[in-house]
């Protein structure tokens, strides 16, 4: 049998089910691995070894009694943006140092119910604001392919934990690319489902109209298993979609009409928006993405030229809407009820000012200021309202594309993971790097990152696939077919 850390979610679940391996053994092996490697990687903000072993023992008992489900006993970990009752939750911020939620996020609760065993909480950019995990108030996470480079963000710790084989699967959240971009930077697979497929209850809000939960793992198959357990209507989230539970694994496996063994994607039209392949796109990324597309063609897909004319506008639109919502969402962190409160203050206003000045980091403050500004009297119409109109038009552009194709493909990010510390001085430069993930987020569409090659310095490159609303099955099907034909998703960084 393979070492535990080389097994993915599906493999582990199978081994646990046949009792070839116990959950306690699996959990202990990964805890050991975390203890050995995570000091250098910074993936975890909190490891709950004791609790994990207790939960693993319970999972083993359930498996022994024949009461196991699809994921019983499978170890995983959660982005620290999800509140958890049995572990601290900080959202990567000093503001929530020592905070303990009285309840579990719905996504966490569902994965618990499915029998998964949480090992701990994963590093992320403060309140999910960032694309390098350098905005964590605690410490940065490091890319296991090159610890001098960033893992991407905001689900940076999540990506690192999977890429470094510390856990087979994790939860992430994606507001403007926070699952897809770190997945691309670390050579793993991640999916952001359609807005509303996963409950946001218990996900600490950054930008409510954009935030969406999703799994990150090594393969599309592992993501499909996790997403099936995480998703579904939740009466505590008014934006969650009322639809019956989905079996994304079955949807992933379902053969296309007209498909054959060698051509599983026969008849699938993949649109390539020309705006996703601009002159400035790094050559290494372009090459890897083209290679991935060529694989898809070999599998029977046809490539179609399409256009998303407002791609560039997605950046200003996103950086108005997301900060606007964030500025309001973060108002509750005022030192009154929970979280950090300044030790010394003169009066109420002084308490607010000091608490928030001390508790929030630079990027969070920057976005609160931008958001406050664009919602201010006299600016609302010029910024927020215009941005909302453009958002609608960007979504319409996608619908126009989907009349010509079934999926949309392109790079996830214009470059491979950059070196730690780069771009810290120029936030707008970092915002530009989100250009390919923002349009899909604004439209609320499901998107994936699938590893398709290596670029500069051997760093992984992800292919982004975007489907129409609620077509996660189609997305996973194409990604799975690609992963059946290639092994990029099985490659592991050296030295770990």
Partner 1 sequence: MTSKLIRGYEVVIGLENHVQLSTQSKIFSGSSTAFGAAPNTQASPVDLALPGTLPVLNRAAVERAIRFGLAVGAKVAPLSIFARKNYFYPDLPKGYQISQFEIPVVQGGAVEFFVGDVRHKVNLTRAHLEEDAGKSLHEDYHGQSGIDLNRAGTPLLEIVSEPDMRSGAEAAEYAKTLHALVMWLGICDGNMQEGSFRCDVNVSVRKPGEPFGTRREIKNLNSFRYLVDAVNYEVNWQIDEIEDGRKIQQATVLYNPDTGETRAMRSKEDSADYRYFPDPDLPPLVIAPEWVERVKGEMPELPAVMAARFESADGLPAYDATMMTQSLATARYYEAAKAAGATPKLVANWVMGEISKRLNASGGEIDAAPVGPELLARLIARIADGTISNNAAKQVFEALWSGEAGDVDAVIEAKGLKQVSDTGAIEAILDEVLAANPKSVDEYRAGKDKAFNALVGQAMKATKGKANPALVNELLKKKLG
What's the closest the beta carbon of residue 16 comes to partner 1, in angstroms?
30
What's the closest the beta carbon of residue 352 comes to partner 1, in angstroms?
6
What's the closest the beta carbon of residue 101 comes to partner 1, in angstroms?
7
**89 vs 231, beta carbon nearer partner 1:** 89
What's the closest the beta carbon of residue 83 comes to partner 1, in angstroms?
4
**208 vs 286, beta carbon nearer partner 1:** 208
Q: Which of 122, 164, 203, 227 binds partner 1 (CB under 8 A)?
A: 203
What's the closest the beta carbon of residue 186 comes to partner 1, in angstroms?
26
What's the closest the beta carbon of residue 298 comes to partner 1, in angstroms?
42
Which of the residues are catalytic? 79, 154, 178
* Per-residue mark of binding to partner 1, 448-487 (x: CB under 8 A): ----------------------------------------
297 to 42, 267, 455: CA distances (angstroms): 39, 10, 21
Per CB under 8 A, does 118 bind partner 1?
no
385 to 16, 379, 440: CA distances (angstroms): 52, 9, 19
What DSSP line would sit under 402-426, residue for residue? TTT-SEEEEESSSSSPPBTTTTSS-
What DSSP line would sit under 13-39, residue for residue? HHHHHTTSS-HHHHHHHHHHHHHHHHH
Q: Looking at residues 236 to 295 of the shown chain, list those that interact with partner 1 (rule: CB under 8 A).
A: 236-239
Among the listed ranges 6-14, 326-334, 362-370, 402-410, the one in contact with partner 1 (CB under 8 A) is 326-334
Contact 374, 325 (CB under 8 A): no
Give the whole-angstrom CA distance, residue 274 versus residue 443.
18
Matching residue, tokens 């919602």: 375
Contact 154, 185 (CB under 8 A): no
Give the whole-angstrom CA distance, residue 218 versus residue 56.
22
Give the whole-angstrom CA distance, residue 475 versus residue 466.
7
Among the listed ranges 18-26, 205-213, 431-439, 449-457, the one in contact with partner 1 (CB under 8 A) is 205-213
Q: Which of 36, 260, 362, 376 binds partner 1 (CB under 8 A)?
A: 376
How far, in whole angstroms, is CA 462 from its chain's centroid? Answer: 13
Give the whole-angstrom CA distance, residue 23 versus residue 210.
35
Q: Which of 269, 265, 309 is nearest to 402 (CA)?
A: 269
* Per-residue mark of binding to partner 1, 3-42 (x: CB under 8 A): ----------------------------------------
What's the closest the beta carbon of residue 404 comes to partner 1, in angstroms?
30
**13 vs 205, beta carbon nearer partner 1:** 205
**277 vs 373, beta carbon nearer partner 1:** 373
Q: Which of 47, 204, 272, 315 binds partner 1 (CB under 8 A)?
A: 204
Q: In what order do the strands lie in the sheet with 169-174?
A: 44-47, 117-122, 75-79, 169-174, 212-217, 189-192, 447-454, 460-467, 407-411, 269-273, 302-306
Burial call 409-420: b when 16+ CB within 10 Å, e when fewer: bbbbbbbbbbeb
Total residues contacting partner 1 by CB under 8 A comes to 43
Residues of this chain that bind partner 1 (CB under 8 A): 82-83, 89, 91, 96, 99, 101-103, 105, 200-205, 207-209, 235-239, 324-325, 327-328, 330-332, 334, 336-338, 348, 352, 372, 375-377, 380, 384
């Amino acid at each position: 049998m393979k070492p535990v850390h080389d097994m993915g979610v599906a493999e582990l679940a199978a081994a646990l089910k046949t009792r070839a391996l116990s959950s306690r053994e699996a959990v202990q092996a990964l805890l050991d691995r975390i203890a050995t490697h995570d000091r250098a990687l910074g993936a975890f903000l909190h490891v709950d070894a004791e609790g994990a072993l207790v939960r693993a023992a319970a999972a083993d008992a359930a498996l022994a009694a024949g009461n196991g489900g699809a994921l019983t006993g499978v170890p995983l970990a959660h982005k620290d943006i999800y509140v958890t009752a049995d572990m601290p939750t900080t959202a990567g911020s000093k503001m929530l140092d020592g905070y303990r939620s009285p309840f579990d996020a719905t996504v966490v609760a569902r994965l618990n119910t499915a029998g998964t065993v949480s090992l701990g909480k994963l590093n992320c950019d403060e309140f999910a604001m960032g694309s390098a995990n350098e905005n964590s108030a605690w410490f940065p996470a490091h890319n296991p392919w090159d610890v001098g480079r960033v893992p991407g963000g905001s689900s940076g710790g999540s990506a690192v934990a999977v890429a470094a084989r510390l856990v087979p699967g994790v939860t992430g959240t994606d507001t403007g690319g926070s699952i897809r971009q770190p997945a691309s930077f670390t050579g793993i697979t991640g999916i952001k489902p359609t807005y509303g497929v996963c409950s946001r209850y218990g996900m600490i809000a950054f930008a409510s109209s954009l935030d969406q939960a999703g799994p990150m793992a090594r393969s599309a198959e592992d993501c499909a298993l996790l997403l099936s357990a995480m998703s579904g209507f939740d009466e505590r989230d008014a934006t969650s979609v009322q639809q019956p539970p989905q079996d994304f694994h079955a949807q992933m496996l379902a053969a296309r009409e007209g498909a054959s063994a060698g051509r599983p994607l026969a008849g699938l039209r993949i649109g390539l928006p020309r705006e996703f392949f601009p002159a400035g796109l790094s050559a290494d990324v372009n090459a890897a993405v083209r290679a991935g597309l060529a694989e898809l063609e070999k599998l029977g897909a046809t490539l179609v030229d399409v256009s998303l004319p407002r791609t560039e506008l997605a950046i200003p639109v996103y950086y108005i809407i997301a900060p606007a919502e964030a500025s309001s969402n973060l108002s509750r962190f005022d030192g009154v009820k929970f979280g950090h409160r300044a030790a010394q203050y003169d009066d109420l206003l002084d308490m607010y000012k000091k608490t928030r000045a001390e508790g929030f980091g630079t990027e969070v403050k920057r976005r609160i200021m931008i958001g406050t500004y664009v919602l201010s009297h006299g600016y609302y119409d010029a910024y927020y309202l215009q941005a909302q109109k453009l958002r609608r038009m960007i979504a319409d552009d996608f619908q126009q594309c989907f009349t010509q194709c079934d999926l949309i493909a392109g790079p996830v990010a214009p470059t491979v993971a950059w070196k730690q510390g780069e771009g810290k001085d120029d936030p707008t430069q970092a915002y530009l790097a989100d250009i390919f993930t923002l349009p899909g987020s604004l439209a609320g569409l499901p998107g994936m990152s699938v590893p398709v090659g290596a670029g500069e310095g051997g760093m992984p490159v992800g292919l982004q696939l975007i489907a129409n609303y609620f077509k996660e099955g189609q997305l996973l099907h194409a990604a799975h077919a690609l992963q059946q034909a290639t092994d990029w998703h099985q490659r592991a960084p050296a030295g770990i």
